[in-house]
């Protein structure tokens, strides 16, 4: 579909944003071709607009020349959603990175898409507030990327995802038209909810140029607990028990036995004997009530199979309790640099069945699977460890992965809790979504992006592939 980028197109791009804001040399373009999925495709040009007007001009030009365009924050996504169409345009939001307003009385903050999550948190914290979404990459990832993926993190269990914490947007559709969605109030029901239609749409409907974010007051106090269990069944029962009582934790993180085995030998981990699963639990709220809240959660977490439950008394102890969890990612990277990392989610009550089912799949396919994640949302990071140089093991891992997804869907779950679809999970989307929902989604995309230039081929299988996949079923 791409018409290919020629001199005339580049000159026109420079006319819109200035020559200094266009890069077309292959060496300059290369670094804008990857994301954290380790996929890569070289764009034909990278453009750095500084305003919504310039974004609109760039999109209009791409529409006219039928050149695919992908908006890009910092490339921390894990699904290939920000990897460009080969030879297409990358629109980097680096020069649209300002915090435009913080309004504590109205509990909102207005940011450009290139501002990092950390910059948003810092600006909000100066007024005693925070923005709930807290992906692991918060120090680097951008608001635009967070919104495109509906990214979240541990805090979502109490405070929700981007969807629950975005009041309104400004955006440019695939014809280069700018528009405004949503409101500056926490209630508003005039017209369709285009704000949430754009959140999570992975840049396929419009380029976000400004976001009005809902702020939440910073809690006065936090308490951190670590609960160790004999086995994952006990830990999963504890999660359900915690979620069925009134004190909702602000983090409820899970590690299975394989994850514990990976970090057990690290000196900082300090894990008791017989640790088959572990929960990290945090509660926050008014300083006065924090002990009672911690006790309520500790009681709920004290199910049969509990080996050890500790509460950190100071910052040093908080760090010590988190040590095992924090050691996990480096340990995983060390033993399996190219692990397959999925982020499925199931209803909390189905966690025991999920973990048990994953164990059975691991045995059957002879693949080591390490599970950890945000248990309060039932959002588990399933890591299939396979050596990419071992073709047989990789084939087993891929076969296993397909069965992991089937298991998740049998348990009323979803293929992605927070990473999104991009290219990685696109072939599996048809297993989760109704064919008619996919058809409606294509139809909606065609209204926002009639020339199909906005991040084509991401999220949904192209209509023709989808139809032929259906006919094969």
Cβ-based nearer residue to a copy of itself, 218 or 394: 218
Residue 194: C-alpha distances to residues 107, 206, 288, 440 (Å): 21, 11, 41, 15
Round to whole Å and give the CA distance between 362 and 366: 6
Nearer to a copy of itself, 63 or 108 (CB): 108
Nearest distance from residue 87's CB to a copy of itself, in Å? 27
Q: How far is the CB of 267 from a copy of itself (least distance, A)?
A: 34
- The tokens describing 127, both together, are 């007024």
Nearest to a copy of itself of 201, 365 (CB atom): 201
> Which is closer to a copy of itself, CB of 81 or CB of 263?
81
User: Which residue's CB is nearer to a copy of itself, number 221 or number 261?
Assistant: 221
Cβ–Cβ < 8 Å for 262, 321 = no
Closest CB to a copy of itself among 48 and 460?
460
Which stretches of 178-220 are assigned E, i.e. beta strand?
A: 178-182, 206-214, 216-217
Tell me the torsion sign for CA atoms 395, 398, 404, 409.
negative
Residue 73 and residue 35: Cα distance in Å, rounded? Answer: 10
The C-alpha atoms of residue 449 and residue 281 are separated, in whole angstroms, by 44
Nearest distance from residue 208's CB to a copy of itself, in Å? Answer: 14
What gap in Å lies between CA 217 and CA 227, rounded to an integer?
28
**Given the complex with a copy of itself, which of 190 and 315 has the nearer CB atom?**
190
DSSP assigned state of 277: E
Q: Please, is 255 exposed, middle or buried when counting C-beta atoms within 10 Å of its C-beta (0-12, 13-18, 19+)?
A: buried
What residues does 111 pair with on adjacent strands? 99, 211
CB 9 to a copy of itself: min, Å: 25
Measured distance CA(427)–CA(416) in Å, rounded: 13
- The 3-state DSSP class for residue 106 equals coil
DSSP annotation of 411: T
Cα separation, 214 vs 18, whole angstroms: 34
- Our CB check for a copy of itself shows the closer of 11 and 443 to be 443
> Smallest distance from the beta carbon of 77 to a copy of itself, in angstroms?
11
CB of 156 to a copy of itself, least distance (A): 6
**Helix 52-65 and helix 7-17, axial crossing angle in degrees, nearest 10:** 160
Q: How far is the CB of 180 from a copy of itself (least distance, A)?
A: 6
Q: Select 112 or 201, whichever has its Cβ closest to a copy of itself.
A: 201
Least Å from the CB of residue 7 to a copy of itself? 32
Closest CA to 66 of 83, 92, 41, 89: 89
Write out 53-104 in H/E/C secondary structure: HHHHHHHHHHHHHCCCEEEECCCCCCCCCCCCCCCCEEEECCCCCCEEEEEC
Nearest residue to 138 via CA among 212, 76, 72, 200: 76
Minimum distance from residue 111 beta carbon to a copy of itself (Å): 17
Q: Identify which of residues 288 and 473 has a Cβ nearer to a copy of itself in the complex.
A: 288
- Report the nearest approach of a copy of itself to the CB of residue 86 (Å): 25
């Amino acid at each position: 579909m791409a018409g290919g980028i020629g001199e005339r197109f580049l000159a026109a791009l420079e006319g819109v944003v200035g020559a200094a804001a266009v890069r077309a040399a292959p060496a300059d373009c290369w670094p804008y071709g990857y994301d954290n999925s380790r996929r890569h495709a070289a764009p034909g040009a990278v453009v750095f607009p500084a305003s919504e007007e310039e974004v609109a001009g760039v999109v209009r030009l791409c529409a006219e020349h039928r050149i695919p365009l992908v908006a890009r924050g910092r490339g921390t996504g894990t699904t290939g959603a920000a990897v460009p169409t080969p030879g297409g345009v990358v629109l980097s939001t680096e020069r649209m990175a300002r915090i435009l307003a913080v309004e504590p009385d109205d509990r909102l903050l207005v940011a450009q898409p290139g501002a990092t999550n950390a910059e948003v948190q810092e600006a909000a914290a100066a007024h005693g507030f925070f923005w709930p979404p807290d992906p692991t990459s918060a120090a680097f990832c951008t608001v635009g990327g967070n919104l495109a993926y509906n990214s979240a993190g541990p805090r979502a269990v109490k405070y929700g995802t981007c969807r629950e914490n975005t009041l309104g947007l400004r955006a440019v559709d695939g014809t280069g038209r700018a528009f405004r969605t949503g409101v500056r109030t926490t209630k508003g029901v005039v017209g369709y909810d285009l704000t949430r239609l754009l959140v999570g749409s992975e840049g396929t409907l419009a380029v976000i140029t400004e976001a009005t974010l809902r702020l939440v007051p910073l809690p006065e106090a936090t308490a951190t607990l670590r609960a160790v269990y004999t086995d994952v069944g006990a830990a999963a029962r504890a999660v359900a028990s915690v979620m069925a009582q009134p004190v909702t934790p602000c983090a409820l993180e899970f590690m299975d036995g394989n994850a514990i085995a990976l970090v057990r030998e690290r000196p900082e981990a300090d894990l008791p004997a017989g640790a088959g699963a572990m929960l990290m639990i945090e509660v926050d709220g008014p300083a006065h009530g924090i002990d009672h809240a911690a006790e309520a959660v500790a009681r709920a977490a004290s199910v049969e199979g509990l080996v050890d439950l500790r509460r950190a008394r100071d910052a040093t102890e908080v760090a010590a309790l988190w040590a095992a969890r924090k050691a996990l990612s480096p340990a995983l990277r060390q033993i399996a640099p190219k692990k397959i990392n999925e982020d499925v989610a199931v209803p909390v009550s189905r966690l025991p069945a999920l973990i048990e089912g994953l164990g059975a799949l691991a045995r059957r396919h002879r693949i080591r699977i390490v599970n950890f994640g945000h248990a309060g949302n039932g959002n588990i990071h399933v890591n299939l460890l396979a050596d990419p140089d071992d073709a047989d093991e990789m084939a087993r891992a891929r076969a296993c992965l397909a069965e992991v997804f089937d298991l998740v869907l049998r348990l009323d779950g979803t293929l992605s809790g927070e990473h999104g679809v991009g290219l990685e999970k696109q072939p599996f989307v048809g297993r989760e979504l109704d064919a008619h929902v996919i058809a409606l989604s294509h139809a909606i995309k065609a209204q926002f992006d009639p020339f199909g230039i906005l991040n084509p081929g991401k999220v949904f299988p192209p209509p023709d592939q989808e139809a032929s996949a259906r006919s094969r079923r």
